[in-house]
Structure formats: C-alpha cells, structure tokens
Amino acid sequence: EEDGVNHGRSLLVEYSIAAGETARFFAPLKGLDMSRADFLVFLARQKELDAFGGKILIGLRDVSGKTVTTDVRSYMKRLWSGPRSAWVQVAIPKTEYRSLDFNQLERLEIALTAGDQKISGNLVLDEISFFGPSELVFRSNADNLKGFPKTVVWDGRVRELMQIQNDHKLIQAVARDTWQYFENLIDRQTGLPVDHIRVGEALGIGAYVSPTNLGLYWIATVAAFDLSLISKEEAIANIRLSFASFKKLNHWGVGYYNYYQTRSFGVTREYVSVVDNGWLAAALVVIRQAFPEEFGKEASEALKKLDFSEFYDSSNGQLRLGFDADKGDFSPYHYGLLATEARLASYVAIGKGDLGKEHWARIYRTLPAEWDWQKQTPQGSVRELFGVPVFEGFYTYLGKQFVPSWGGSLFEFLAPTLLLKEQELAPKGLGKNNEIATDLQIQHALQERGYPVWGLAPCATRNGKYWVYREYGVPALGAKGYADRGVIAPYVSFLALATRPQAAIQNLREMLLRYPGIYGEYGFYDAVDLSNGAVNPQYLALDQAMSFLAMANYLKDGAVRKRFHADPVGKQGEELLKEEIFSLN
C-alpha cells in the first residue's frame, strides 16, 4: 500500500512437501501499480536456502488472471554475511514478467516444489519488494494521471492573488486553480479522481476513490461548466468516462463500498457508508438536472438502486452508519444528530421517497439530557414537527445559543449547504444555526485562543514523512467535541462563503499573507499547523471539491444549490427546512 512500511521481522516458512507436490503461499496485491519497477527482489537466508532440495518459483498475477512464474535459481546473488548469518539476494528482472499488466498486479505467489523425494525444513525470507527508480510507488501511479503539480510553493501566484483587491475576482482566480485538481488528477483510462496527492519531499498519490469523491467530482464538473472553465462537451465527456467506470464497480445491493482502486476497481474494504452514498445520490440528482439528455435515464436508474430504507432503524427512527459486508452486519451506531454532514443523506432519502418526513423529526437536535457524557446538559423545549414531538434543544457558548454538531467542526455544520438552501429556506432553523456556528468558530479562534486565522475541521496533517487524517473542532460546539490543536483547514473558509462571506474571504487573505506556503498549483493546501506554521503540502479530493463547489455557489448565485433544488428530490425535501424553528434566542 502507499504508506505501508513494516520493518523488524523476517518471514519464517516451515515446509513439508511430498515427492512431486507443490506448496504455495501468496500475498494479495489488490491492483497494485508497479509499472515503473525494474526488479522483483527479496532476501533469503543462505543456510536454509542451501538445504532446500526442490524448486522455488516466484509468480505474479495481474487482474486479468494471467500468471507468470520463474525459477529463482537463475537470479541469486550473495549479498552479505553477518556474525550469525549470511543472506542471498534474489533480483528477478521485470522482463521475466513482460506479458503482465504491471499497472494492475493482483497477487504475488511463492511456490515450493519437491522433486522425486519428500522435502522438509525451513526457509527464511525478508525484504520482499519491487525495486526501481526513487519514489517508485509515486512514479508508477503518476503515469496514469493527466498531470501533476511541478512546484510546491507557488510564490508568484500568491503575490498575484495578494494584489487582487476585488473579492469576487480573487475567488474567481482561486477557483480556476482549484479546478486543476479535477483537470489533472484523473486516471486517464477510467476517468476516476484520485483520493489525494502529496507534493514536496514525500511525494504520494492515493490512487483510490470513494463514492463521495466520485459524486463530488461529477458536481464539480457541472460547476466548472457553470463557471465557463470547461465547455459543455468537455463536462459531458468527463462525466461519461467516469460514469462508465462507475457502472462497473462491484457493490453491495443498495449501496457502494467505501473505496475502490482507480485503475483496477478493486475494493479496499467492503464497508458501505450511508453518508458516502448520500453524497453519491445527491450527485446523481445534480447531473441528471444539468445534462438530462445525456444522463437523465442512467442517473435515475442508479439513484433508484440507492435505497436508504435498508439502513433505517425503526426503533429510533434514525439511519445506521453503514453495513459491514465483511462481517455481514449493520453498524450498531447511528447518525443521530441533525447538525452534521449526515443530514444530507437523510434529506436525499426523504426526497426520493425511501423514508418519510418523520425520520427527519426523529434525528436528535441535541442528545438526550440523560446522556451525561455530552459536553453540556441541553436546554430547550418540546415542539411538534411532522406529527412527532421534537425536543428543540440547544447548548450555550460565549453567550450564544446553538444546536451542536458531534465534534464541533465547521465541516459538519456547513458541508450540506453546498447543495441545500438552508440559509434561504431555514432562516430560523438550520440556516440560523449555521451562521451562529460560524460566528462562534471565528470568536473561539481569534478571541479565545488568539489565533491569527480560523477554520477548525477534519484535515490531513504531516506525520514525519507520511501523513495522518485527524478530526479537529471547537470542543464546546460539539456533543462529543473534537480537540482544538491549532490546526486550520482552509477549505472551511470556503464553506463559510455560505454564511459569512466577507469574514471568510478576509480569512483566506490573512492565510496568504502569513503562510505563503499554504498555496500551490491547485489552490490552498489542506492544513496549516499554527503552532509552528508548518503547511501540509497535500490536496484531498474531498476538501478540494467542497472548496470548489462553495466558490461556484458564491460566484454564480448558488448555482449548485439551484440545480439540486430544481430536481424533484431537492424540491420534495424543502418542507424539512421550511417547517422547523430552533429554540434559539
């Protein structure tokens, strides 16, 4: 795997093989791309290798099922001798496997074959790997893409952006740069976007895609057409190629798995996430509205198959998190809070008729007061919504009342506003709460913590040579509350264009001024650590798409939201937004 590095152990193989028989063991490669490799190499300990009386065959299999094997005896070379052991290196040239598709390797197999006598004993193997140019994994994946950034810090562009005084023109310029992610980081053969990339010292490509990433790529393509960054013909061609790949994806009944390899379509984990499939369903709504002649029928058929009623728990009226196909069971947990990104999946489920409006009412506004582990004991009153008694609860922070999210990140509060007209249709409900949450995030960062910029949300940060994705937020704004470790995600400011546009744009300008390394060829990087000013030079498809869609809504008067609400699914759910009044002063 991209970041799979394990050290400190060797592989001990104990064998007992009858005369004329073969024993095999293998490692699944799951569509691994090693197209730039030169050799397949490993080490074997000398004394066990000398005692082995049969043949050792090394085989590779690609995703088509084709397998090529070769005898290691021709490629052995003494490597080194230590005080307790000597090792032999086996280096098999890639040319021995020339007929295989090295873009999609499925299995590495080692076969031990006995001759005319039974053999038994041990083998000790180590450092089984592919060998080639530096950054081999990156280079092998990069040759599948349309492009890749050539620089890390785009100093000249930052200076240009800083000179743009007009807010509208600034966002236009950033939107053009941000779109380059979806212009270039697409598999040329399958049309699927990669999950993330890293530039700089630790080059990396996450060559896999989630239902969310794919759905947001489709919506971003529509938005790029709306912004005149691409033609209608280009937008349709982009969606058509990736949609053809989408139809080939293996899935569980009514939902799609979390991640697929972008080239081989291999499933990395058989887990079906409700929130991910909610974004996918919303995207199908948008593309059938944008290009009905091209995708109306296919998108509608795919949307119909996404049946969210399968995840509904009638005991509490809420959606389960997902289905684990490996275990054959649904998650025991639920999407239980309204002020989270999961409300989009609930909205779509109701809009398409999978669930009734009472489901919306049965999602908690605040968790039950008796759940004493939550950050605050909620206050509020009971009101009836769609025939269901609803406790319209709230928390209080810095003198303001608000409906909490799970972790207190602006991602949870604002991500659904990319598609839902909450500010317009729910001025006393979700729309009002979104504005309060934004204000509290700003106040917490700038006044309570003394940060120069704001925007706490899940994001990717550096972890030595590698990276880690962590959840951050304002603890007091969440029922559980994510930690605030001074890590700021620029994409949050773009989401806030829906609630506090002037403050959001000023925040972005401040980031460019204080942390010029925050900006690369494809726009703002994912995070900056305010404790030391360290920028993680990484782009995530999810965060790039959210930023781009938020900019498209800002620049084109809510164009993305308008397309979604023009569809029967979007219209059907509008009552969910209009009817509710939160108990907020």
Single out the residue of 559, 571, 570, 565 nearest to residue 222, CA to CA: 559
- Tens of pLDDT, residue by residue over 180-229, are 999 999 999 999 999 999 999 889 999 999 999 999 999 999 999 999 99
Strand partners, 44: 88, 125
Between CA 286 and CA 563 the distance in angstroms is: 6
- Tens of pLDDT, residue by residue over 47-83, are 999 999 999 999 999 999 999 999 998 899 888 777 7
H/E run at residue 233: helix 232-246
- Identify residue 115 by its one-letter amino acid code: G
Helices 167-184, 501-514: axis angle to 10 degrees equals: 70
Mean pLDDT value across residues 384-390: 97
Between CA 422 and CA 580 the distance in angstroms is: 11
Give this prediction's pTM: 0.93
Tokens encoding 175: 């939107």
The pLDDT value recorded for residue 392 is 97
Tokens encoding 239: 């969606």
The least confident of 70-84, 109-123, 135-149 is 70-84
How many other β-carbons are positioned within 10 Å of the β-carbon of residue 77?
Answer: 8
Mean pLDDT value across residues 263-269: 88
Distances (CA, A) of 4 to 19, 29, 137: 38, 12, 11
SS (H, E, C) 130-195: EECCCCHHHHHHHCCECCCCCCCCCHHHHHHHHCCCCHHHHHHHHHHHHHHHHHHCEECCCCCECC
The pLDDT value recorded for residue 39 is 97
Single out the residue of 260, 280, 302 nearest to residue 215, CA to CA: 280
- Tens of pLDDT, residue by residue over 419-435, are 999 999 999 999 999 99
Between CA 97 and CA 64 the distance in angstroms is: 14
Residue-averaged pLDDT of the chain: 95
- Tens of pLDDT, residue by residue over 440-485, are 999 999 999 999 999 999 999 988 777 899 999 999 999 999 999 9
pLDDT above 70: percentage of residues in the chain = 99
The pLDDT value recorded for residue 1 is 41
How many other β-carbons are positioned within 10 Å of the β-carbon of residue 119?
Answer: 19
Single out the residue of 388, 335, 381, 334 nearest to residue 357, CA to CA: 388
Mean pLDDT value across residues 396-419: 98
The pLDDT value recorded for residue 79 is 80
Please report the DSSP string for 275-298 in residue order.
HHHHHHHHHHHHHHHHSHHHHHHH
Helices 155-162, 501-514: axis angle to 10 degrees equals: 140
pLDDT above 90: percentage of residues in the chain = 92
Question: CA torsion sign, 262 to 268 to 273 to 275?
Answer: negative
The pLDDT value recorded for residue 551 is 98
Between CA 304 and CA 199 the distance in angstroms is: 40
Tokens encoding 183: 């212009």
Between CA 355 and CA 346 the distance in angstroms is: 8
- Tens of pLDDT, residue by residue over 515-548, are 999 999 999 999 999 999 999 999 999 999 999 9
- Tens of pLDDT, residue by residue over 237-259, are 999 999 999 999 999 989 999 99
With residues binned 3-state (H G I as helix, E B as strand, rest as coil), the percentages for the chain, rounded to 5, are 40, 30, 35
Between CA 183 and CA 521 the distance in angstroms is: 12
Tokens encoding 470: 């962590």
